[in-house]
Amino acid sequence: GQQLNQSPQSMFIQEGEDVSMNCTSSSIFNTWLWYKQDPGEGPVLLIALYKAGELTSNGRLTAQFGITRKDSFLNISASIPSDVGIYFCAGRVSKTGGGADGLTFGKGTHLIIQP
């Protein structure tokens, strides 16, 4: 089956630092999504990307859909304590609207912020 390689697995950073994480795939995805999951909760959507090359921001978060459609990255600028959590990339083969296929998730990046 399809797999997403997400890195790094974990990050220990100082408050205020910028963060970068990425996902790569051996196959093409037509939708890339980035989620944050807090302990004991379901994932919450941060950014959705639908077009190769697309660069989208959501506050301090910026994500890009790779040109090859096989990769995506997420950047967090000026990290704050509430950014702590696990970040997952997810890919979907179908585009918007009609597709009813589920998501393939990366293994997650555990972000830890040191005061």
Question: Which tokens in the block code for residue 67?
Answer: 């040109």
Question: Which tokens in the block code for residue 32?
Answer: 């890339």
- Please, what is the minimum distance in Å from the beta carbon of residue 36 to other proteins? 11
* Per-residue H/E/C for 33-63: EEEEECCCCCCEEEEEECCCCCEEEECCEEE
Residues that bind other proteins (CB under 8 A): 1, 33, 35, 40-45, 48, 50, 88, 96-98, 100-108
Q: Which residue lies nearer to other proteins by CB, 40 or 81?
A: 40
Q: Which residue lies nearer to other proteins by CB, 45 or 78?
A: 45
Q: Which residue lies nearer to other proteins by CB, 50 or 77?
A: 50
